[in-house]
């Protein structure tokens, strides 16, 4: 018996050495780099992909407004006595939110969580409503009827499941719209993230899932959250496209988000950015 085991082990070893059966592994591309149009110093690295200057100017204006709003809200929250009941900062993430939400049309649906004030304002949420919401006033809880924005989700990642459901409704009614939602890298470890993305992928629902990865969840770094180097790799497991983008490059985010939204609208199913 011992001899047969030794022989079998040797045979397996020889087969492994004679053929690289893992040549197609996605982990073989460990040198993935985020898609960029601008370098961190603002220098164009893909000048041919820069959108029209009108779009560039509007993105900058929206980002500047969002950052000013974020700073003001934090001052109001930290003031004594506090002028806001609570507030979740998004500073440093205005490019990823503004540039992606800017791609949406009025008929499209935004499914936000608590750190998406910039995306909501970009999609038309009145600033006075945002102030009332963070003050805890009931008038701030109600989304205006003419805005396709769902109520803000506090229990992450409920917004992912909601977005998948909204997209399925859009698909069933043939509305030609798209749903978009956001989540931090920590939230992707929750079961509802998998349930929502997998459901949308199986039904080819028109939805775009955006992961804002700032390197940390509430308590631990990303490398403790997941064994993959880039969370967009999870898209392959769902059979959908996944894009790795520099979240501080508004032009790159806009370009990739526009492709993802256009694909979803054309009936090609969801994407992960």
Q: What is the mean pLDDT of residues 27-38?
A: 78
- Asked whether the predicted pLDDT for residue 88 surpasses 70, the reply is yes
- Asked whether the predicted pLDDT for residue 89 surpasses 50, the reply is yes
Q: What confidence score (pLDDT) does residue 6 get? A: 44
Q: What confidence score (pLDDT) does residue 28 get? A: 52
CB atoms within 10 A of CB 19: 8
**What six digits make up the tokens of 109?**
């649906």
| % residues pLDDT > 70 (the chain) | 89
Q: What confidence score (pLDDT) does residue 9 get? A: 43
Closest to 177 measured CA to CA, from 106, 227, 229, 77: 106
What tens digit of pLDDT does each residue of 106-117 get?
999 999 999 999
Average pLDDT, the chain: 90
* pLDDT band at residue 1 under the 50/70/90 scheme: very low
Q: What confidence score (pLDDT) does residue 30 get? A: 60
- Asked whether the predicted pLDDT for residue 24 surpasses 80, the reply is no
What tens digit of pLDDT does each residue of 191-239 get?
999 999 999 999 999 999 999 998 888 778 888 888 888 899 999 999 9
| % residues pLDDT > 90 (the chain) | 79
- The residue with greater pLDDT, 272 or 28, is 272
What global pTM score does this model have?
0.88
């Amino acid at each position: 018996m011992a001899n047969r085991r030794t022989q079998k082990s040797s045979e397996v070893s020889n087969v492994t050495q004679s053929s690289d059966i893992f040549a197609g592994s996605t982990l073989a591309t460990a040198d993935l780099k985020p898609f960029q149009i601008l370098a961190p110093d603002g220098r164009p690295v893909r000048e041919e992909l820069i959108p029209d200057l009108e779009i560039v100017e509007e993105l900058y204006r929206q980002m500047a407004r969002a950052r000013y709003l974020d700073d003001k809200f934090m001052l109001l929250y930290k003031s004594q006595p506090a002028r806001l009941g609570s507030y979740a900062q998004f500073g440093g993430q205005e490019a990823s939110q503004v540039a992606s939400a800017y791609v949406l049309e009025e008929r499209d649906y935004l499914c936000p969580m608590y750190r998406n004030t910039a995306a909501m304002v970009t999609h038309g949420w009145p600033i006075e409503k945002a102030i009332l919401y963070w003050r805890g006033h009931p008038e701030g809880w109600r989304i205006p009827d003419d805005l396709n924005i769902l109520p803000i989700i506090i229990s992450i990642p409920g917004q992912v499941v909601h977005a998948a459901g909204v997209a399925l409704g859009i698909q069933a009614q043939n509305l030609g719209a798209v749903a978009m939602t956001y989540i931090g890298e920590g939230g992707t470890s929750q079961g509802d993230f998998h349930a929502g993305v997998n459901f949308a992928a199986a039904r080819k629902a028109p939805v775009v899932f955006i992961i804002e990865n700032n390197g940390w969840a509430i308590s631990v770094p990303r490398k403790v959250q997941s064994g993959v180097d880039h969370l967009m790799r999870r898209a392959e497991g769902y059979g959908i496209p996944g894009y790795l983008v520099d979240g501080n490059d508004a032009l790159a985010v806009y370009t990739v988000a526009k492709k993802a939204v256009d694909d979803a609208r054309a009936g090609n199913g969801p994407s992960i950015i």
